[in-house]
Structure 1
Amino acid sequence: MDTDSEAASSRAGSETDVETESEAVSPTGVEYEAGTEIESDTDPIAVITPQRRGCKWTGGDDARLLSGYRRQISTPRIAAILGRTPRAVRDRLAKLRQPNTPAPTSATVNLLPTQRLEIYAFGTGECAELGLGPEVKARVVRRPRLNVHLHHEKVGIVAIAAGGMHGLALSHEGRVYSWGVNDQSALGRGTQYTPLGGDGDSGSDSDSDSDVPLNALESTPMPITSFPEGTVITNIAAGDSISIAVTNTGRVYTWGTFRSSEGILGFNEDIHVQPVPKLLDTPQDVVQVAAGTNHALALTKRGEVYTWGNGEHGELGRRIVPRARLTQLNPTRVITEGVTSVAAGSYHSFAIDRDGKVWSWGLNQYAQCGIDDNDGIRFPTLVGSLTDYRIKQISAGEHHTAALTDGGQLLVWGRDDDGQLGLGLVKSSAADVVSTRSVHKLHVAPGTSFTSIACGTHHNIAISTEGQAFTWGSDVGYQTGQGPHNQRGEIIDVPTQIENKATIGVRLVSAAAGGQFSIIAGVPAMRPTDGAVPDNHAIAGSRA
């Protein structure tokens, strides 16, 4: 117990004639009865014990009672828990300090980005994931191609996201556009399509036939119109069969479903697949969302992190009870404070705190969490290998991760047998699995620094401060945008700048990477800007 608290207790015990109240009134108004134990797991760190006159707060350096109660009152008010406060204590105090009064739904929490961007797509679009329309020539695009359906003036896209096989785009008006595979309603709108002269088809089966046009309602970006009137979306994320959107008032809408190793897990405990956007039961001050293959994260303005979806690999950061497995579909808080950004890989998750430190959890067999431990990381754990850096952004793929420091340096770790780390490592045979269990600095051209990073399943896109795109990793579907394979094969094992006519003079500002397709966004350098470039929250893709 510190000196000030001991002095306060001593004074309270010695005043026998006059009842007084200290000037240091508790700011929390939280009252505990005499004998209450404040516990951390199994060992109490402090106890309020009855005394002859009033009560006394006892405990170690981790706790103290500030004065602020009458000497004969047996329910002193706890003013502060100081030092290294255990999570159980912090959670309890947080609940008591924060009344369960919903925030006003009209209060603006998030601002919509205003910079209108030109959108380019490349990779394999056999299932309409490129969003370039139904034409046969839009199936495989080896270099970035302008998406004319998302015209920078007529539509005005300000943010992009990529799931496994679908894409999302956010307009300057706060509308969400979607395209790609809609088998489990990831597009949030109907795509039943009857081609001219056809006999009626949803498009899902015929898309595999290379000589048949794609389903126009899936392959063409179209707005989701079922949001309540007046809804303004400011942040988007996409997983495999799930899509998420955050409003300017901090509410979360989502649609689609989550899958497990056994098939469809469900959208929530009552709904198998959700076809259109549905308001989620989350705090009303959410500022960012991220999506992995089958899980999701939400970050509140207060720095809390909520997770939901499929947690069979530990990606939710909390214990899952098998007999009540559908409860994992309910958003649940796993971090109570201090987080400024979240990100999701396929089966692992990240949180960056206000000090630029990184916390991770989930599948970790290739050390993709940044922790050299073969076991999965079941709960949020500090990534010690990154403590020497101040991390600005993280993005993650299936089994690899990339981070961006505040100085524009790229760091990579995890699996590398498809060149996804960009380290130039070569596997000796197709059966070999190459990985690095430590963090490596990624060296590009001298003097090159970066402003954002996006990881797909097995490839990456980094945007430099000069507005150029560098890609590396698996290129089996031309998702790196480097053109025909020719003699170089299907792996780009070091970061390589994209050079093509379509993006000449374009200042690229963001990217999103899916399974075998990619999206980049930018503004022509000579065009006057009409707003700020979106921040990392606005441009976060499915792997955030």
Structure 2
Amino acid sequence: MKKLTSQIFSGILAVGLALNAFATNVAHAEYNEEIAMNMAKISAGAIHNLVIDADGDVWSWGSTSNGILGIGDTGRDKYRLPTKIEDLSNVIAVSASDTSSLALKEDGTVWAWGTKLGDGRRYSESDVPVQVPGLENVVSISTGYSHNMVLKEDGTVWAWGYNPKGNIGNGSKVDVYAPVQVSKLNDVKAIATGSEHSLALKNDGTVWAWGGNKSGQLGNGYNQDKTTPVRVVGLEDVVAIAAGEFHSVALKSDGTVWIWGSNAYGELGNGTEGESGNTNKPVQVPNLDHVDAIATTQGFWTTVLKDDGTVWGWGRNYGDLIFGDTRGIIASPHQIPEINDVIALSSGTKHSIVLKNDGTIWAWGNNWGNKLLGNEDIEHQSGPVEVFFE
């Protein structure tokens, strides 16, 4: 057994991430290519994880359900340690959700496994990566609970999957099983998928949203679903975006974080909790600055990376698993203990993984059958443990 050390990730910056591309559900202040590339290399899903090594190969671990590990196995074997996905190379970004996985190759093609393969079939599933038909010149990918999205180099956005709230963005609420272009949207440089809503960041620093809006997560001042993009009000100078279950997050160029939507579990980070505090317009997260990157989940919490390498989080704590030494709802930013020197982070439904400057991967949270944290010797873990691989 060996560590996931800097020998594995040495040269992690050698593979360029095209244009201003972002991995799923990640963001960073004052676009920095190094941060963007690092963030694209790791992705925590609901019950599995994906990482890219220096050679552009992908490693996965966690549940085999629906084939989401991409290793040709859907049985009950417990993949507690990272396993290399065969026949998948030259990858520059990965994205993991609850039942699906995406990978973006250097050549601009997109590869999928698990469910929501984008091949036109209603119930498509594969336990090994297959190319998504009809997609080329892609620069960013994002998976969500209901749907998947990609961004092309021409600034257009394409999506497919379940469409209960109009989250596909094509003007309807009919499910879509192959990529279709999001209507009335161009000049986009970043995308993010929530549970049933979607976000896009344009080159002019404005944010646009569509899909489910019961908690105000579209940020347009109303609470009605929208099947085509609407502008998030009052936001300018945004450099990146991220989406959670029923809330949305934006990072401005000055390193401040702005958030809107549900506050049922303290998602707004303002010290309060409860749905009565939901907001359908962006508000600043107080007492939080110098943020370099943000990562939300399909859950009810948010984590951010500061420029000093520390990680902070708030929202639903699922016991004491996500934010370490503090139980219950964390309604304002709380530093994750025992973790620093971080250069990239990704958060799943109940766990997080980070990449440190020395090339090691660390994880903490709900270990879900001893599979998610990449360490055979622990169960649930409130403090970070190093990920190992065979």
Does residue 223 (structure 1) correspond to residue 223 (structure 2)? The answer is no
Question: By how many angstroms is 1:277 displaced?
Answer: 0.6
> Does 1:454 pair with 2:295?
yes
Tell me which residue corresponds to 1:421.
268
Q: Does 1:241 align with 2:99?
A: yes
1:420 is paired with a residue whose SS is: coil
AA in 1 matched with 2:198 = S
Alpha-carbon displacement from aligned partner over 1:268-311 (angstroms, at most 9, x marks no partner): 41763122111112342101001111211111111111111111
Match of 2:336 in 1: 498
- CA shift for structure 1 position 477: 4.6
State the AA in 2 paired with 1:419. G
* Separation of aligned partners in 2, 1:308 and 1:461: 27
- Structure 1: state its 5+ residue gaps: 1-132, 134-147, 193-201, 204-214, 259-264, 526-544
Q: Secondary structure at the match of 2:234?
A: helix
Of all paired residues, the percent bearing the same amino acid is 28
Runs of 4+ in 1 over 2 A off after TM superposition: 148-152, 154-158, 265-268, 319-322, 477-483
Does 2:316 align with 1:469?
A: no
Partner-residue secondary structure (3-state), 2:324: coil
Q: Which amino acid aligns with 1:468?
A: T
Residue of structure 2 equivalent to 1:357: 206
CA distance 1:499–1:364, change in 2 (3 Å):
same
Name the SS of the counterpart of 1:240 in structure 2.
coil
Counterparts of 1:394 and 1:292 in 2: how far apart (Å)? Answer: 14
1:104 aligned partner: none
Higher relative helix content: 1
Whole-Å separation in 2 of the counterparts to 1:219 and 1:366: 36
CA contact (8 A) 1:460 1:480 kept: no
3-state DSSP of counterpart to 1:153: helix
* Count of equivalent residues: 329
More strand by share: 2
Give, in angstroms, the shift of residue 513 of structure 1: 1.0
Does structure 2 conserve the Cα–Cα contact (< 8 Å) formed by 1:267 and 1:274? Answer: no
Aligned pairs (5 A) from 1:360-371: 360-371=209-220
Q: In the TM superposition, what are the counterparts of 1:8-19 in structure 2 within 5 Å? A: none
- Change in Cα spacing, 1:398 to 1:270, as seen in structure 2 (3 Å) is closer
- Compute the displacement of 1:149 (Å): 4.7
Question: Which residue of structure 2 lines up, in the alignment, with residue 25 of structure 1?
Answer: none
Partner SS state of residue 220, structure 1: strand
Aligned with 2:67: secondary structure?
A: coil
Alignment of 1:258-273 (within 5 A): 258=116, 268-269=120-121, 272-273=124-125
- 1:293 is the counterpart of 2:141: no
Structure 2 counterpart of 1:310, one-letter code = Y
Does residue 508 (structure 1) correspond to residue 338 (structure 2)? The answer is no
Greater relative CO (CA pairs within 8 A, separation 6+): 2
Question: Secondary structure, in 3 states, of the residue corresponding to 2:318?
Answer: coil
Cα shift at 1:417: 1.6
C-alpha contact (below 8 Å) 1:472/1:480 kept by paired residues: no
- From 409, 412, 435, the equivalent of 2:278 is 435
Give 1:321 shift: 7.1
Contact 1:395 1:401 (8 Å CA) reproduced? yes
The answer as to 2:186 corresponding to 1:337 is yes
User: Structure 1: how far apart are the matches of 2:305 and 2:280?
Assistant: 25
Report the more deviating stretch, 436-445 or 292-301: 436-445
1:282 is matched with 134
TM, length-normalised to structure 2: 0.79
Q: C-alpha separation between the residues in 1 aligned to 2:152 and 2:335?
A: 36
Aligned in 2, Cα 1:281/1:436: closer, same or farther, shift over 3 Å? same
Kept in 1: contact 2:138–2:150 (CA 8 A): yes
Q: 1:478 to 1:393 in 2, by over 3 A?
A: farther
Name which of 209, 232, 246 aligns with 1:399. Answer: 246
Match of 1:411 among 221, 244, 258: 258
Q: Distance in 2 between matches of 1:482 and 1:232?
A: 36
Aligned 8 A contact 1:252 1:282 in 2: no
Secondary structure in structure 1 of the residue aligned to 2:242: strand
1:381 and 2:235 matched: no
Post-superposition CA distance 1:91-141 (Å, at most 9, x none): xxxxxxxxxxxxxxxxxxxxxxxxxxxxxxxxxxxxxxxxxx9xxxxxxxx
Q: Which of 474, 480, 484 is residue 322 of structure 2 equivalent to?
A: 480
Q: TM-score, normalised by structure 1?
A: 0.57
Partner of 2:388: none
Alignment CA distance shift 1:299-1:233 (3 Å) = same
Between the aligned partners of 1:417 and 1:499, the Cα distance in structure 2 is: 24
Larger Rg: 1
Aligned CA RMSD, in angstroms, stands at: 2.3
